[in-house]
Amino acid sequence: MGKPTLLIAVSSQDTPLVHDVLDDEFNLLICHSFQEAEAFLRKDIDLVTCGVHFDRGRMFDLLKRVRRTPKLQDVPFLLALGREVKYSPAILQGIETAAESLGAKAFINMLELVSEMGKEDAYEDIRRTVRRLLHLNLLNQAISSQAKASQHASDAEEPRAA
């Protein structure tokens, strides 16, 4: 099996950071506009990561679009703040709460992680988070498939009225 494919929706100035953190382990589809992201949504994607500053703040538009796309409904969506912009704790909490309510699986504040853990440990922590989300999604898919197969088998076993 090949590398997992990640759709990475970020501003162009965040692209080098994405490569630093994720480049070697994952197949990256990087886009900088909502239109580019929509085109990539037709591909097989294992996880979507979106930067807070994507296409002038269209992160929630992308999240809603992903959740409305049947083949992507369960794909993990990770929202990331990577740029060195200081937001108040209330603003950050609002972004995180809105993202969760719309179906995001995680919110990463790169500045906070790097200041707490150092650059290399923070990057590894992000890769671990991505791996964990991918693994959980695979488990959920397997459970769902097994439940459907079990339901189909029990439906086939029911006696038919004569």
Written as one string, the DSSP assignment of 117-131 is H-HHHHHHHHHHHHH
Predicted local confidence at residue 152, as pLDDT:
67
Predicted local confidence at residue 82, as pLDDT:
78
Q: Which of 79, 71, 91 is nearest to 54 (CA)?
A: 79
Predicted local confidence at residue 78, as pLDDT:
96
Average pLDDT, the chain: 89
Distance CA 94, CA 112 (A): 16
Q: Which of 41, 42, 62 is nearest to 104 (CA)?
A: 62
- Confidence check: pLDDT of 162 > 60: no
Distance CA 14, CA 32 (A): 10
Q: Is the Cβ–Cβ distance between 74 and 140 less than 8 Å?
A: yes
Predicted local confidence at residue 46, as pLDDT:
95
- Confidence check: pLDDT of 64 > 60: yes
Predicted local confidence at residue 160, as pLDDT:
58
Mean pLDDT of 3-14: 94
Q: Which of 51, 46, 101, 104 is nearest to 72 (CA)?
A: 46
Mean pLDDT of 81-101: 83
Contacts of 133 (CB under 8 A, 6+ apart): 47, 76, 78, 105, 106
Q: Is the Cβ–Cβ distance between 50 and 78 less than 8 Å?
A: yes
Is residue 40 helix, strand or coil? helix
Pure H helices in 10-109:
15-22, 34-40, 59-68, 89-101
Cβ count near 53 (within 10 Å): 18
What percentage of the chain reaches a pLDDT higher than 70? 93
Q: How confident is the model at residue 88 (pLDDT cuts 50, 70, 90)?
A: confident
Residue pLDDT, tens place only, 134-152 = 999 889 888 888 877 777 6
Mean pLDDT of 84-93: 81
Q: Which of 132, 128, 1, 29 is nearest to 76 (CA)?
A: 132
What percentage of the chain reaches a pLDDT higher than 90? 60
- Confidence check: pLDDT of 55 > 90: yes
- Confidence check: pLDDT of 28 > 80: yes
Distance CA 143, CA 39 (A): 30
